[in-house]
Amino acid sequence: MSLNLFNELSGVLDKSQVFEPHASSPYLHDSTESRGMKGKADLIVLPGTLEEVQKVVAYAYDHDLPMTLRGGGTGYAGGAVPEGGLVICLEKMNKVCSVDPLQWRLQVEAGVSTRRVQTVCRENGLLYPPDPGAAEQSQIGGNLATNAGGPHTFKYGSTGKWVTGVEAVTGWGEKVSFGGGFRKDVAGLDLGSLLVGSEGTLGVITRVHLRAMPALEKRYPVVGWYKSLREGCEALDYVRASGIQPAVLEYLDEGCIKWTQLSGAMEGSQFMLLTEADGTGEEAWAGRGILIEAVSEGALRVDAPLEEVAIADLWRWREGVGLGLAARWGGKSSEDIVVPLDRVEEAIRRIPEIGLKYGLEACSFGHAGDGNLHATFLLDFNDPDALASSQEAAEELFAMAIEMEGSVSGEHGIGKVKNGQLQHQWNPASVRLAQEVKKTFDPKGLFNPGKKLA
């Protein structure tokens, strides 16, 4: 880093908001660190206001400096891993600007954590349904930029569904803003939705208008354990045919059940289904009965806890699956492919076969109702051969998703990890159009260069 750059940028912002990263700085990696991914940057910049973001972007544009945009750094695609230039981190833009319980809406700066959005809503009698797994650390700007989902996406949709307006800073430091605190808007082109899932390639998201809904009275989970994948997938069909919309429809395959060794799992079962009925007390109770009936078809055992503590334990257990799998060999690489619902069973069967071909234990879990499968290869990250094999296995996995007319990513995005995969999934004209859109937002190609659309 040149001293000049530091001096000039500390003239644009306060000196305390600009610093040079040390070798082990957390700003140089995200959750792909466990795959050995680490970046480099000249300076870390922490703007605290829209105007400061504009100044930094304008400076970067004038000096041709690449910018890596960073929220909470929990991403699994390497999107926040820099390759030189500036890291613009939104952590200081963390104000909840307004909450209107009667209008079911709130307005927040991009650096507010997902958990805070959920909590503020709850405190105001509202529910903000998106529930990505790293809510304490992830920020709403990062959620928007990855269109993050979670188990309840099955009923309530991903982050983008809850956004009614977005403000951002694009090339040359220009502020743009689409939508707002109102619920319908067809006045212009839907440009705000281009920022949803943009992974920091179009500009810096600075402020978001979110909608919420009245808090639910009750949630009842229902869990089925099956002796084989076949029985488990039949139960999935029974749930879908049951006539109600469950809030979640999650699964664990045989490998997950076996290797996580989490207490409470049914020994000898090869498939687990987790579903949930929600709504008013009456609706949720009626839904619970219907789901128990559907899940019971062919099940070895059905668990339907009623106590709040037991329900919380069940969700904690579900959240521990990723860690439990990583503990087996010290690491894992977990992808997030999507397949059409009628190919879910075939995909779940083929994932361990792909792993086997590359000498890796592999399993899957995730959002069966959305066909969004966390295909997971278990490995020791200190073993370079295993790491290389997991990359080859992932390539084959993505090819499978495309062959099945699905997607290479349903949650984590493309980032750096899957760069180039979009070109396999989309035809050249579609990719070109996306690249032209990028050029319009970012004429010099300085926002997250080399990622997603490169």
Ligand X SMILES: Cc1cc2nc3c(=O)[nH]c(=O)nc-3n(C[C@H](O)[C@H](O)[C@H](O)COP(=O)(O)OP(=O)(O)OC[C@H]3O[C@@H](n4cnc5c(N)ncnc54)[C@H](O)[C@@H]3O)c2cc1C
Secondary element (H or E) of residue 291? helix 281-296
Token pair for residue 386? Answer: 């295993």
Residue 391 gets the label, from left (phi > 0), alpha (psi -120 to 50) or beta, of alpha
Under the binding rule (CB under 6 A), the answer on residue 194 touching ligand X is no
Return the range that interacts with ligand X (CB under 6 A); candidates 19-27, 145-153, 177-185, 326-334.
145-153
Beta-strand pair 126-127/213-214: antiparallel
Q: Is 148 in the site for ligand X (CB under 6 A)?
A: yes
Give the shortest CB-425-to-ligand X separation in angstroms.
Answer: 18
List the one residue out of 52, 69, 25 whose CA is nearest residue 441: 69
With respect to ligand X, which residue has the nearer C-beta, 169 or 299? 169
Amino acid at 270: Q
SS3 41: coil
> Around Cβ 176, how many Cβ atoms within 10 Å?
16
399: left (phi over 0), alpha (psi -120 to 50) or beta: alpha
Q: Find tokens 């700007």 and name the residue.
A: 141
Q: For residue 117, state whether it binds ligand X (rule: CB under 6 A).
A: no
Binding mask 89-108 for ligand X (x = CB under 6 A): -x------------------
Shortest reach from residue 308's CB to ligand X, in Å: 22
Mark the segment that binds ligand X (CB under 6 A) among 148-156, 310-318, 399-407, 433-441: 148-156
Tell me which of 48, 141, 246, 287 binds ligand X, using CB under 6 A.
141
Closer Cβ to ligand X, 31 or 270, answer by number = 31
The neighbouring-strand residues paired with 105 are 100, 211
Dist CA 166 CA 49 (whole Å): 15
Q: Which stretch binds ligand X (CB under 6 A): 2-10, 21-29, 138-146, 250-258?
A: 138-146
Is residue 397 within the footprint of ligand X (CB under 6 A)? no
Asked if residue 67 lies in contact with residue 54, where contact means CB atoms within 8 angstroms, the answer is: no
Q: Kindly tell me which residue out of 17, 54, 107, 139 binds ligand X, with binding defined by CB under 6 A.
A: 139
The answer to whether residues 24 and 36 touch, using CB atoms and an 8 Å cutoff, is: no
Question: Hey, which residues between 399 and 418 contact ligand X (CB under 6 A)?
Answer: 411-412, 415
366: Cβ contacts below 8 Å, ≥ 6 apart: 250, 251, 336, 372, 373, 374
| Only segment of 37-45, 115-123, 135-143, 217-225 that touches ligand X (CB under 6 A) | 135-143
Instruction: Please report, in angstroms and rounded to a whole number, the separation of the first and last CA atoms in the chain.
Output: 25
CB of 159 to ligand X, least distance (A): 7
Site for ligand X in 72-91 (CB under 6 A): 72-76, 79-80, 90
User: Binding to ligand X by residue 118, rule CB under 6 A?
Assistant: no
**CB of residue 116 to ligand X, shortest distance in Å:** 12
Least Å distance, CB 149 to ligand X, is 5
Q: Is the separation of the CB atoms in 342 and 364 below 8 Å?
A: no
- Beta partners for residue 253, in sequence order: 271
The residue to which tokens 């699905």 are assigned? 406
- From 99-107, 118-126, 130-138, 429-437, give the range in contact with ligand X by CB under 6 A: 130-138
Q: How far is the CB of 370 from ligand X (least distance, A)?
A: 11
Is residue 107 within 8 A of residue 208, CB to CB? The reply is yes
User: In the complex with ligand X, which residue's Cβ is closer, 72 or 279?
Assistant: 72
287 binds ligand X (CB under 6 A): no
152/131 Cα distance (integer angstroms): 7
Residue number, 134 or 229, with CB nearest to ligand X = 134
Are the C-beta atoms of 381 and 342 separated by less than 8 Å? no
The contact pattern for ligand X, residues 15-54, with x = CB under 6 A and - = no contact, is ---------------xx-----------------------
Stretch that binds ligand X, among 34-42, 184-192, 196-204, 436-444 (CB under 6 A): 196-204
Concatenate the DSSP letters of all residues of 86-147 into one string. EEEE-TT---EEEEEGGGTEEEEETTSBHHHHHHHHHHTTEE-----TTTTT-BHHHHHHHT
Least distance to ligand X, CB of residue 170, Å? 10
Size of interface with ligand X, in residues (CB under 6 A): 36
Q: Which residue has the tokens 């998201």?
A: 205
Binding test (CB under 6 A) with ligand X, winner from 39, 85, 129, 132: 132
The interface with ligand X within residues 414-443 (CB under 6 A) comprises 415
Maximum Cα–Cα distance for the chain, whole Å?
70
Our finding on whether 373 is near ligand X (CB under 6 A) is no
Q: Closer CB to ligand X, residue 92 or residue 227?
A: 92
Residues in contact with ligand X by CB under 6 A are 30-31, 69-76, 79-80, 90, 110, 132-134, 137-139, 141-143, 145-146, 148-150, 199-200, 204-205, 411-412, 415, 448
